[in-house]
Chain A
Amino acid sequence: MEVMFILIGFSLAAATGFLVAFIWALKRGQFDDLTTPAIRMLFESGSRKKDDAKG
């Protein structure tokens, strides 16, 4: 069962790492471009002919 101690250590380290990465990312302005992806997905490159169909 000693492996559980290793797992706890690993998960705590990972949790800390994730938190640090998240704060760092936030400060770097990660959430800036939040407009174009939402619009881009509406356009299909492949089905141009049929994309005019209603619905």
Chain B
Amino acid sequence: MAIESFKYDNVIVRNFTLATLFWGVVGMFVGLLAATQLFLPELNLGFGPTTFSRIRPLHTNAVIFAFVGNAIFAGVYYSLQRLCKARMYSDLLSKINFWGWQLIILSAALTFTNGITTSKEYAELEWPIDIAIAIIWVVFGWNMFGTIIKRRERHMYVAIWFYIATFITVALLHVVNSFELPVSLLKSYPLYAGVQDALVQWWYGHNAVAFFLTTPYLGLMYYYLPKAADRPVFSYRLSIIHFWSLIFIYIWAGPHHLLYTALPDWAQSLGTVFSLMLIAPSWGGMLNGLLTLRGAWDKVRDDPVLKFLIVAVTAYGMATFEGPMLAIKSVNAISHYTDWTIAHVHVGALGWNGFLTFGMLYWMVPRLYGTKLWSTRLAEYHFWIGFLGILAYAVPMWFAGITQSLMWKQFTPEGLFQYPNFLETVLQIVPMYVIRAAGGLLYLTGVVFGVVNLAKTARQGALIREEAAEAPALESRHPDKGQDSYKHRILERKPIVFLLVTTVVVAIGGLVEIVPTFLIKSNVPTISSVKPYTPLELEGRDVYVAEGCYNCHSQMVRPFRSETERYGEYSKAGEFVYDHPFQWGSKRTGPDLHRVGKKYPDAWHWNHMIDPITMSPGSIMPRYPWLAEQQVDPDGTPAKVRAMQKLGVPYPEGYDTLAVADMRQQAEVIITGLGDAGITADPQSKLVALIAYLQRLGTDIKVDTAAQGQ
């Protein structure tokens, strides 16, 4: 067996590390800005691109795909080379992966702030960028499998399995959720509508958490935690069992995001059951991490790296306990649409992802630069200030979520709402928003400490660009054919087979859950009175999407008395058949809007959008004065109508040629009404279109009820 000499590529790891830190600071700063606007709406500076509804997607995408994404690449590129005892397959692919990913992030920042969005949460990027993501992701996978194939270590360590599952599943999720029909260069409509769009989206959304924020990080945990503690993982057996069960169960849990909505009941129950089952494999991972330190807990006292990693694993355990609890329907009835969800995801994001990232970087960067950490004390400060930041973030959000939900549901003994005004329940929790922002500021301060510490560490050392290593070459066929060559070994030694098996495991869950809703017509009852949107309403809907209204307003009245009393008739699946994309939302910072149509006069909406405080004193909604000035482009309308026709929306043949005339006509009616109220409005303004859409919302079914009553 010849000993081969080769070199690890540390430059790519350094590059991804720099990107992680840069985008981490940017993403968290945007988050802080968004959080602050919830008690100081003026902080958007009267400027669309810095308004909450546009920067909230920017924040979520930046921390998920830019901060965590780059950290995944940094961690994988470092650990994969060492676990495979091989250099990355191709330096060129590494570079394309790096620069491609950064360009995608940059394009996200530019498009989101300019209102170019698909409105599907964590998948808001428009179609050309979706294609770029798919290409760069495949480049990453190509590079990874190339490395695995030319590895010098037969056995594939558990971390690699997690990386593979991540690659396969994210590719699958991204492609399936991004089926969309382009209307123009930067605008598309999803192929799915209403309830089906919602199911696909939350199948994606949930699994983005599972396979972008969880499985790659479990892989990183299985590498960096044993390394930092200098002891093997507690149970290798457990790591195998919880890996397979985790990927098999996670894929089914998506519908828990849609409990009590118009999603078919069987799909909801399926989501709940699998979410509860998820506790087992999740806690398998957590316990395996924590128990790795059995008998070595004294190390945690002195080593900030271990402190970060252990709190990360603990936060993972807490979040994966809370998640299944929130997926129980009766708990979800309280928690959904509130800040409780925000608390839940931030325990995961700040604790699990954030702390694991910094634990990893504090361990890895000194090794990249052949030196020691510049200041252990500063890292300790980072740890404690970040830890306090997480508490100051999560606790007020738990408090706010439960408080507000109970206020929504509180009836007086006479059976009337105790808090009939939605705004009252918002103002009650504004102090919590202030504390939350302070928590975020603490956390971000810690991150800045981390950046300084790592920069100083880099400066006192010198980057080992090419790290020499040697290992025996791998024999082409493994000799032991006896009883030792059991199945799992074969799987581990054949990455392509392993790839296929993982795909299959993951695909089963997704297909079996999604396919029936496409096929079973009864899942989407068609309501005869539900008609396609008029061209003006369609344009207004696109304004609603572009401004990101869904970030604060749901369009889904759940079948509870506390909701039907407040908003109106509960939402039916058949009402959404022309909704490409669905706009159910996931958070009610403002009230639900599904039954807002005809509730207020046009003039009310006009004034409210220009300055919400004039209509609702104390409102924390941002002002949208630019909607009165910017115009809808009528040249684009026929193409939109044609696209909708292609997607099955039954506009009459050739309607696209009449669309603009119809649009003008409807706008004139609104303008006349506004004129009577003393408002001079531009009939082509986006605000007129938005009003047309808002006044249409949820009204089709009222027509039906009225007709039946006669």
Contacts and interface: CB of A to CB of B under 8 A. Distances in A.
Contact of B230 (A12, A31, A36, A42): A42
Nearest to A17: B504
Contact of B487 (A12, A21, A34, A38): A21
Nearest to B232: A38
B511 to A, nearest CB: 4
B8 interface: yes
A48 to B, nearest CB: 9
A50 B370 contact: yes
A47 B504 contact: no
B381 interface: no
Interface string B203-242: 0000000000000000000010011101111011100100
A10 B231 CA distance: 43
Interface stretch (B121-129, B467-475, B579-587, B596-604): B467-475
Given A11-B507, A44-B82, A45-B471, A37 B488 contact: no
Interface in B461-489: 467-471, 483-484, 486-489
Nearest to A11: B511
Contact of A47 (B303, B372, B373, B469): B469
Interface in A9-47: 10-12, 14-15, 17-18, 21, 24-25, 28-42, 44-47
A18 B505 contact: yes
Contacts of B157: 37, 40-41
A41 B79 CA distance: 10
B305 interface: yes
B505 A38 contact: no
Given A14-B508, A24-B487, A55-B303, A42 B226 contact: yes
B367 A50 contact: yes
Contacts of A7: 511, 515
Contacts of A24: 487
B151 interface: no
B487 A46 contact: no
A25 B223 CA distance: 26
B155 A40 contact: yes
Interface footprint category on B = 35 or more
B470 A46 contact: yes
Nearest to B79: A41
B486 A32 contact: yes
A1 B623 CA distance: 45
Contact of A25 (B8, B155, B487, B518): B487
Nearest to A35: B236
A7 B513 CA distance: 12
Nearest to B235: A34
Given A11-B512, A15-B508, A44-B469, A31 B228 contact: no
B232 A39 contact: yes
Contact of B470 (A5, A28, A41, A45): A45
A34 B486 contact: no
A8 B501 contact: no
Contacts of A12: 512
A34 B469 contact: no
Given A25-B487, A46-B469, A37 B236 contact: yes
Given A45-B471, A46-B467, A53-B372, A4 B515 contact: yes
B214 to A, nearest CB: 21
Contact of A1 (B235, B483, B505, B519): B519
A30 B487 contact: yes
A41 B515 contact: no
A55 B305 contact: yes
A16 B345 CA distance: 35
A24 B490 CA distance: 13
Contacts of A40: 153, 155, 157
A36 B636 CA distance: 63
Contacts of A10: 511
A1 to B, nearest CB: 7
Contacts of A53: 367, 372
Contacts of A28: 486-487
B83 interface: yes
A3 B471 CA distance: 49
A46 B602 CA distance: 71
Contacts of B468: 46
B85 interface: yes
6 contacts: A11-B508, A30-B487, A37-B155, A38-B232, A42-B230, A55-B228
Interface of B: 8, 82-83, 85, 153, 155, 157-159, 223, 226-228, 230-233, 235-237, 240, 303, 305, 363, 366-367, 370, 372-373, 467-471, 483-484, 486-489, 491, 501, 504-505, 507-508, 511-512, 515, 518-519
Given A5-B519, A31-B488, A47-B469, 6 more contacts: A8-B515, A15-B512, A28-B486, A32-B486, A34-B235, A50-B370
Closest CB pairs A-B (n = 3): A46-B469, A25-B487, A30-B488
